[in-house]
Amino acid sequence: MNCWHCDQPAQAVCRFCGRAVCKSHAQTMNYIVSVYPSESKKVLKSLVVADTVYCGVCKPQPEPLETPYLD
């Protein structure tokens, strides 16, 4: 598989969308594995993996999106 940006051999795959990227085009971003309430239940805690590979193209949202009800 080749890099999405430059068509050179890819060295990583975006954690978020699956696009392949080479070393020079790969970026990193925190990836939230799961979100759960803390013991006090007043705040949500997140289990985060730092520096996961990100392609720089797709747009991971910082929070879950509401899904509008479809008729």
| Identity of the residue, 3 or 12, whose beta carbon is nearer to Zn ion in the bound complex | 3
* Count of Cβ atoms closer than 10 Å to residue 32 Cβ: 15
- Interface with Zn ion, residue 6, by CB under 5 A: yes
Residues paired with 29 in a beta bridge: 52
Q: How far apart are the first and last CA of the chain?
A: 40
Coil/strand/helix, residue 10: coil
Residue 19 and residue 28: Cα distance in Å, rounded?
13
Choose the binding region for Zn ion from 7-15, 35-43, 44-52, 63-71 (rule: CB under 5 A): 7-15
Establish if 16 lies at the interface with Zn ion (CB under 5 A): yes
User: How far apart are CB 31 and Zn ion at their closest, in Å?
Assistant: 11
Q: Which residue ranges make up the site for Zn ion (CB under 5 A)?
A: 3, 5-6, 14, 16-17, 19, 22, 25, 55, 58
